[in-house]
Amino acid sequence: MADWTERYRPSTLSEVRGNDKARDAFAEWARSWDDHREAVILHGSPGVGKTSAAHALASDMGWETVELNASDQRTADVIERFAGRAARNATLGGSAAGGGASGGDTASRQLVILDEADNIHGNYDRGGASAITKLVKESGQPIVLIANEFYDISRGLRNACRDIEFRDVSARSIVPVLRDVCRKEGIEFESDALQRIAERNRGDLRGAINDLQAACEGRSSIAVEDVVTADRDKAMGIFPFLDAVLKEESAEESLRSAYAVDETPDDLTKWIEDNMLDVYDAGEATRAYDFLANADVWLGRVRASQNYSYWRYATDNAAAGVAAARDGTKGGWTRYGRPQFWPSSDSTADEVVGKIAEASGCSVATARREVLPFLSAVTHHCKPRDLTVAMAAAYDLDEAGVAFVTGSGESTNKVESIVEDARERREERMADHAEGAFAGGAARADDSLDAGDDAAPDREGREAGSAADGTADDGGPNGGGPNDRSAADEDVDAEDDDGQSGLSDFV
């Protein structure tokens, strides 16, 4: 069955529904283009008719169209060629470029439609935005840039263009479009069914038409129940989803599919990451990794801030971005592999980071970004046992926590004995604390420093007292409150020389 959104794409501006003001402003931009020669940005949510409006306008004006993807590296070259051609044509007295069109300038115009103008950076082509800005300024042809997020377009490019916002199409405007489609397809319908489709697509006319088509598949009439069933059927399995992203669907469709899969963006990203190389060639994979890296950044922000609204951006990158990195569609069957999920690694990470933040008085974000990587690097690579014990004691880590930070297996004897020693050390400290060890804790400082050649940190003794709470200041990772300094001088000074950084240096 042909795609209904294509079949019923508006062919003239007057068929573009629900955005009268934008439509009028756009028509006016085109009519007066010779006077201002500005490019225009049409921005708004997916599926509200921006691309359709651009094509419809060109047809109304009798202009040819050239559609390019703004985020594609090659686009700048193509526009350059246009600009050059337009300039040459101008010097030839405005004769037609398209071969034989008469009737002056406007008939020979080519409307350049640049899709995904908000996706130029973050892409492999770092210079893309400025190249396009330059071309937008110099081009001899009218250019329409299309974007979902106006403010994701570089400022220079925004300032160089006029902008027109396309608003979400209201359910009230969507229903008549659906009704028209049903009539043309000879489908009987219950009005409530159309209303429901319109409402659940919240302003997205393309989505509504797609849903209608899905609901009508194999039927000559639709009732509310059919629409409700279609709702339920929407859930998508992970394997069809991987096919969608890695082989078949556009970025936009892949994104919609991502929302239909019952997995978190973390897991979806892992699935894509782990299977992408089985399908993509080197060029595609290189581009895809940029998006996956962006997705990871957003996932990291979600974890650090617990702000789940960032999930959307992770999904955008992992699903839509990776799909956009693909050249065309692919066929064939792939044996997808289940990614290695590290059971509980995320919750362990959260717990460890929370404890570090609490003990050190820093934010969770700092603990995650700065302290944890440092601890991991030191304990993992240098393997100083005493430091690891001190760390486990300071942050009250259990086996899972120590294993997570140091990268060792959770059940190894080593980890167990470290946790045991750390527990003892905490208990001793607590006992000391109860006895007023603050004033005379030299013995404790000694105690922690006696294994100092294992690279025990040197500065906690001085800083922990001021920076930390009960956990760190009555011992800190290497013990010793502020007053311990003199008693432990010898050891500490010896430590000073080896230049080791202390944990609290990084907090």
Ligand X SMILES: Nc1ncnc2c1ncn2[C@@H]1O[C@H](COP(=O)(O)OP(=O)(O)OP(=O)(O)O)[C@@H](O)[C@H]1O
Residues that bind ligand X (CB under 6 A): 5-6, 8-10, 16-19, 46-52, 146, 148, 169, 177, 205-206, 209, 252
**Amino acid identity, position 195:** Q
Closer CB to ligand X, 85 or 162, in the complex = 162
The answer to whether residues 424 and 470 touch, using CB atoms and an 8 Å cutoff, is no
Closer CB to ligand X, 325 or 392, in the complex = 325
Please compute, for residue 480, the number of CA atoms within 13 A of its CA located in the half-sphere on the CB side: 27
Closer CB to ligand X, 53 or 246, in the complex = 53
Closer CB to ligand X, 139 or 210, in the complex = 210
The residue number with the shortest CB distance to ligand X is: 49
Total number of residues shown for the chain: 507
Closest approach of ligand X to the CB of residue 61, in Å: 17
Closer CB to ligand X, 209 or 392, in the complex = 209
Beta strands in 180-292 (DSSP E): 188-189, 221-222
DSSP 50-75: HHHHHHHHHHHHT-EEEEEETTSTHH
- Which residues, in sequence order, are CB contacts of 390 under 8 Å at separation 6+? 422, 425, 448, 456, 457, 476, 477, 478, 479, 503
Closest approach of ligand X to the CB of residue 67, in Å: 11
Binding-site residues for ATP:
44-51
What DSSP designation does 228 have? Answer: H
Q: How far apart (Å, rounded) are the C-alpha atoms in residues 473 and 324?
A: 52
Closest approach of ligand X to the CB of residue 386, in Å: 59
Q: How far apart (Å, rounded) are the C-alpha atoms in residues 482 and 335?
A: 61
Could you tell me which residues are beta bridge partners of residue 147? 43
Helix-, strand-, coil-residue percentages of the chain, each rounded to 5: 65, 5, 30
Q: How far apart (Å, rounded) are the C-alpha atoms in residues 167 and 22?
A: 8
Q: How far apart (Å, rounded) are the C-alpha atoms in residues 503 and 505?
A: 5
Closest approach of ligand X to the CB of residue 194, in Å: 15
Closest to 45 (Cα-Cα) out of 216, 166, 225: 166
Closer CB to ligand X, 145 or 464, in the complex = 145
Closest approach of ligand X to the CB of residue 367, in Å: 40
Closest approach of ligand X to the CB of residue 172, in Å: 13
Closer CB to ligand X, 129 or 181, in the complex = 181
Closest approach of ligand X to the CB of residue 43, in Å: 9
